[in-house]
Structure 1
Amino acid sequence: LIRYASLDEIKGAPHPGVWRRPRVLVYTAIMLLSLVGIVYGLSSVGAIELKVLHSRQPLF
């Protein structure tokens, strides 16, 4: 059988937890920064004034 394992795993060395991997930390930081940016962008938008005009003869 084929075993997909590293030499450290075969020797029995403990592998780092999921939250200690650099890629997971970088992706988490990117997601948090994106979320903060979206929240800031949505909270700083001013009011929008709209004017709706009624169409007298709509096309059917």
Structure 2
Amino acid sequence: SEILIKAAKIGVGMIISKSAPTTLAVQLAHDLNITAIGFVRDDYFNIYSHPERVKQTEM
């Protein structure tokens, strides 16, 4: 959650991580207007907040 606060302070709009976020981090990302993407693998990922900002296409 601390990284989200720091990201918001410098204007970062999206955070991408290999791991899954906590419930608190998802809520905070939503409240801070940050798109949170986690559990990233070679061919998929999960969008936890603001999914309308991510355009997914077939590869």
- Where relative contact order (Cα < 8 A, 6+ residues apart) is larger, the structure is 2
Please tell me whether Structure 1 or Structure 2 has the larger radius of gyration of its CA atoms.
1
Name the one with the larger helix percent: 1
Name the one with the larger strand percent: 2
TM-score, length-scaled by structure 2: 0.22
TM-score, length-scaled by structure 1: 0.22
